[in-house]
Amino acid sequence: MSEGGFRAEEIDTSRPHPARIYDYLLGGKDNYQVDQQAGDALAAAAPEVRIGVRANRAFLQRAVRFVVRGGVRQILDIGTGLPTSPNVHETAHEVAPDVRVAYVDNDPIVKTHADALLSRSGTTSIVLGDVRDPRAIVDHPDVRRVIDFGEPVALLLVAVLHFLTDAEKPEQVVATLRDALPAGSFLVLSHATDDFADRSAAEAVYTNATATLNLRSRAAVERFFDGFELVDPGLAQVPFWRPDTPPPERSGEIGFYGGVARKVR
């Protein structure tokens, strides 16, 4: 038995995993043929997907810089995926080198790669955990080693909640995490949507993956921010959240909402 209760035989490379599909779409090399096939099928179903994942990644980097410039010095990144550079801690350290980051993912392969690539100093940790069990994440000793929940935290839930079904109660997951955060903390969240095009074929790609894709409307995504106050410009398609470069081509078709919100009490 390994950390988090996972056994080696549970590392499944026979089915596509969302983190590895995402890595492939970003042009990474930490993926398998089954992930590449799923990524190609996804690109066929949603031709703008490669532009979309890059735009989502750029949103993440802008949001991290925003919260760090706002004074936050600790980040909890759940569903981190494979550690494509620049990582969250690299982006944060460009603004403030004392930022501490706890990464969490449920794929043992992600943790193996992250263990090899990420600093194991006192400023970062990598934890094998599942967003479906938020209390276990908050209480994990390797999270607590770098995150002090008595001080403001930036909680990152970027491109992760759309892999939870409604039956898995994603709103309750977010509420549990929210309640662990003190005032002055931030939620950085992005989520896939089919508000701009029919993406049923894209959802079908994930039928045999380790997690299904569950697209949600703007109103449904906004509910994840209950208990927080969205900062300007509110919930937006990711290329249009505080852009620092011209929006990419086909931005109007990109099926990702993103937003940053502050917990005021």
Instruction: Tell me the CA end-to-end span of the chain in Å, nearest whole number.
Output: 40
**In angstroms, rounded to a whole number, what is the distance separating the alpha carbons of residues 253 and 132?**
30
Contact 54, 80 (CB under 8 A): no
CB-based contacts of 208, cutoff 8 Å, min separation 6:
15, 16
pLDDT band at 206 (very low <50, low <70, confident <90, very high): very high
At 4, is the pLDDT very low, low, confident or very high (cuts 50, 70, 90)?
Answer: very low
Instruction: Return d(Cα 84, Cα 90) in angstroms, integer.
Output: 10
Which residues does 79 contact at the CB level (< 8 Å), separation at least 6?
A: 19, 104, 105, 106, 131, 157, 158, 159, 160, 163
Residue 175: Cβ-neighbour burial (10 angstroms; 0-12, 13-18, 19+): middle
What separation in angstroms does the CA of 224 have from each of 20, 28, 174, 214? Answer: 25, 30, 7, 14
Range of the domain at 228: 14-262
Is 7 contained in some domain? Answer: no
Q: Sorting pLDDT into bands at 50, 70 and 90, what band is 30?
A: confident
- Please give the residue that has the higher pLDDT: either 40 or 19: 40
For position 3, what pLDDT does the model report? 41
- The string of DSSP letters for 30-55 reads ---HHHHHHHHHHHHHSTTHHHHHHH
Cα separation, 103 vs 31, whole angstroms = 19
Instruction: Report whether 175 contacts 135 (CB < 8 A).
Output: no
pTM of the full structure: 0.93
pLDDT tier, 111 (very low <50, low <70, confident <90, very high otherwise): confident
CATH of the domain at 256: 3.40.50.150
Is residue 2 included in any domain, yes or no? no
Is the model's pLDDT at 117 over the cut of 80?
A: no
Q: Which of 152, 183, 150, 175 is nearest to 264 (CA)?
A: 183
pLDDT at 248: 87
Q: Is residue 4 part of a domain?
A: no
What does the pLDDT look like over 130-148, one tens digit per residue? 999 999 999 999 999 999 9
For the cut 80, the answer to whether the pLDDT of residue 9 exceeds it is no
pLDDT for res 119:
56
Helix (H) or strand (E) holding 78: strand 74-78
Residue 9: inside a domain, yes or no? no
Confidence class for position 5, pLDDT limits 50, 70, 90: very low
Question: What is the tally of structural domains in the chain?
Answer: 1
pLDDT at 73: 98
Rg (CA), the chain: 17
137 neighbors 78 (Cβ within 8 angstroms): yes
Cα angle vertex 134, ends 132, 122, to 5°? 125
Residue 44: inside a domain? yes
- Round to whole Å and give the CA distance between 58 and 24: 16
- Token digits for 244? 């620092």
> In the structure, what pLDDT confidence band is assigned to residue 123 with cuts at 50, 70 and 90?
confident
Residue 1 belongs to a domain = no
pLDDT for the residue numbered 120: 57
State the pLDDT confidence band at 10, using cuts at 50, 70 and 90: low
Kindly state whether residue 224 falls inside one of the protein's structural domains.
yes
